[in-house]
Amino acid sequence: MPDEIDLRIRPVRPGDKPRVLDFTAGTWGDGDYIQDVFDEWLADPAGQFTAVELEGQAVAIARLTDLGDGELWLEGMRVDPKHRKKGISKTLHAYHVSLARKLGGDVLRYATGDDNAVSRILGERTGFRHVGNYWWHEAIPSDEYEPPVRLAREDWPVLRTRFRSPLVRVARRLYQRDWRWRGLSEVRLKAHLASGEVLGLRRADGTGLRAWSICALDEDTQMGLQHLDAIDSASLAEMAGSMRRYARDAGRSLVTTFAPEPSPLIGALREAGYRTEEMAMIVLELKLRK
């Protein structure tokens, strides 16, 4: 039982790395991303990277990040397989919920696989609401489609009018970046536009906007679409195809995106040659202010 073991909660230290990488090495069978982010999480002042210590050793980790705009994000909960079912994740989860309240954000969210019953229960027992399911889709980059245009500041007046679209609504006004779901606010969309991360399809006469997508080209070999939108289903499928072309021109090997369910986006993605994979994430949310 949790109160019978001597758990200590403290910040992760550089010296925890070998142990943490060791107990997370087989988390998902084929590995874990913790090894790729450990140093970054340790150094990042915007996050609280926390360990649970038992008998002088780190046996669990999780991280709370400030995404800005009052949004806090919980991620990377891992318990050493040798110490599971001792109430450790329950303790760490409760710690983060109370830390989030102290930090004073508006909302705390996290995502987990839709088949991860334990992770889901932790949220349900502490007042989190199930916001939605998001299905993973993949496509191979292709030159069969026309490339999109990169939208610019001059497009903002039109983009702004499209911003409260039905597809933004079905995505629960959230979009995913780096596996973290956050609110799609006007401020964020404008920042993506300024960074050249909003692509679109114009009408045949070159005016107006039929479709748009948010997509950042980072160092990865894959390309993740963070939002796709359009005025009708044909334009939506065309935009999805066009992003396969964009990925091909950018030398990427795979295009990926999460589509909310239910959503017309799933049909449009399939029409444009994307596969729905057997992987869905659920997002849970706790309002921190009444």
Ligand X SMILES: CC(C)(COP(=O)(O)OP(=O)(O)OC[C@H]1O[C@@H](n2cnc3c(N)ncnc32)[C@H](O)[C@@H]1OP(=O)(O)O)[C@@H](O)C(=O)NCCC(=O)NCCS
Structural Rg of the chain based on CA atoms: 21
The DSSP H or E segment spanning 38 is: helix 34-43
Segment interacting with ligand X, rule: CB under 6 A, options 111-119, 178-186, 215-223, 252-260: 111-119
Shortest distance, position 201 Cβ to ligand X, whole Å: 36
Shortest distance, position 272 Cβ to ligand X, whole Å: 30
241-270: which residues touch ligand X (CB under 6 A)? Answer: none
Tokens of 124: 């349900």
Nearest to 161, CA basis, from 212, 90, 102:
212
Q: Which residue has the tokens 């606010």?
A: 185
Shortest distance, position 73 Cβ to ligand X, whole Å: 12
108 is an interface residue for ligand X by CB under 6 A: no
Amino acid at 123: G
23-82: which residues touch ligand X (CB under 6 A)? Answer: 27, 77-79
Of positions 21, 25, 43, 118, contacts ligand X by CB under 6 A: 118
Of positions 88, 151, 237, 255, contacts ligand X by CB under 6 A: 88
First CA to last CA across the chain, in angstroms? 33
176 is an interface residue for ligand X by CB under 6 A: no
What lies within 8 Å, CB to CB, of 90 at 6+ separation is 2, 122
85 is an interface residue for ligand X by CB under 6 A: yes
| Overall residue count recorded for the chain in this entry | 290
The smaller minimum CB distance to ligand X, of residues 119 and 257, is found at: 119
Of positions 116, 133, 142, 276, contacts ligand X by CB under 6 A: 116
126 is an interface residue for ligand X by CB under 6 A: no
Cis peptide before 262, with omega less than 30 degrees from 0? yes
The smaller minimum CB distance to ligand X, of residues 85 and 102, is found at: 85
The smaller minimum CB distance to ligand X, of residues 89 and 213, is found at: 89
Nearest to 109, CA basis, from 224, 281, 290:
281
Nearest to 129, CA basis, from 154, 108, 158, 159:
108
Q: What is the DSSP string of 39-84?
A: HHHHH-TTEEEEEEEETTEEEEEEEEEEEETTEEEEEEEEE-GGGT
Q: Which residue has the tokens 């926390």?
A: 50
Shortest distance, position 4 Cβ to ligand X, whole Å: 13
The smaller minimum CB distance to ligand X, of residues 5 and 170, is found at: 5
The smaller minimum CB distance to ligand X, of residues 179 and 191, is found at: 179
The DSSP H or E segment spanning 137 is: strand 129-139
Counting residues that bind ligand X (by CB under 6 A) gives 16
121 is an interface residue for ligand X by CB under 6 A: yes
86 is an interface residue for ligand X by CB under 6 A: yes
Neighbours of 86 (CB within 10 A): 20
130 is an interface residue for ligand X by CB under 6 A: no
The smaller minimum CB distance to ligand X, of residues 216 and 279, is found at: 279
- In the complex, the residues that contact ligand X under the rule CB under 6 A are 27, 77-79, 84-90, 112, 116, 118-119, 121
